[in-house]
Amino acid sequence: MRLFTALRPSDEAVRHLSEAIAALDPARVTEATAGVRKFRFTPAERWHLTLRFHGDDADPQRVADRLDRRMAHITAAPPALRLTGSGTFRGVLWTGVEPATETDRLALRELVRAAGGDPRGFRAHLTLARWASGRADRRWMPGLLTGYTGPWWTAGELAVMRSDQGEGGPVYRVVHRVPVTRAASG
């Protein structure tokens, strides 16, 4: 079991991005992925922004309790965010996350901190696809979603999730939820 704390995009944001991916020209996807093996898009039900990876042996109750304590001190309003653009790093095609304002950027950093992550090294992104090996063509792969901009959404909750390896890839289960509201500050 692997444990992580995540922020999930709204249903509308997921639907919008799913439609953009479904509308991609298959020939363009083939061209962009020519240098990699076993390219596969991540199913939308797995989409999330990892705020903190807790590891393979983390105690779910301890992580949940710590998140509850930290969220009790959140003072910022839930951030307004949108998914936009794309990029790659080793074996991953991702879309970025853009805060609406500087206040929203700071609020997102506060959520990363509450999850136990380091906001200084945090680059908000959502994994769209993975591949087993090979080098992505940095001109073509990120270009699959050049100009993509999704709708604005407001962060609703943080979820402590466990990842178990299944036949078709990881299976994610929510083990704890914490609303992202000013009311969380008590």
Say if 184 falls within a structural domain: no
In a domain, 152, yes or no: yes
Lowest mean pLDDT among 35-44, 64-73, 137-146: 137-146
pTM summary value: 0.88
Helix, strand, or coil (residue 34)? coil
pLDDT at residue 163 is higher than 50: yes
CB count, 10 Å around CB of 1? 13
- Domain assignment present for residue 123? The answer is yes
Provide the token pair at 12: 């509308």
Q: Is residue 185 part of a domain?
A: no
Q: What is the CATH number of the domain that holds 6?
A: 3.90.1140.10
Answer whether residue 166 shows pLDDT above 90: no
pLDDT of residue 138: 65
> Is 143 contained in some domain?
yes
Name the residue range of residue 168's domain: 2-179
User: Does position 21 have pLDDT exceeding 80, yes or no?
Assistant: yes
The answer as to whether 113 is a domain residue is yes
Q: What is the pLDDT of residues 37-49, one digit of tens each?
A: 888 999 999 999 9
What total of structural domains would you count in the chain? 1
**Any domain includes 91:** yes
The 10s digit of each residue's pLDDT in 81-110 is 999 988 888 888 899 999 999 999 999 999
Q: What is the mean pLDDT of residues 150-160?
A: 96
Catalytic residue annotation: 48, 125
Give, in order, the Cα–Cα distances in Å from 24 to each of 21, 27, 53, 96: 5, 9, 31, 18
On whether residue 122 sits in a domain, the answer given is yes
Burial 91-128 (b: 16+ CB within 10 A, else e): bbbbbbbbbeeeebbebbbbbbbbbbbebeebebbbbb
Contact partners, residue 97, CB within 8 Å, separation at least 6: 49, 81, 82, 83, 84, 108, 124, 125, 126
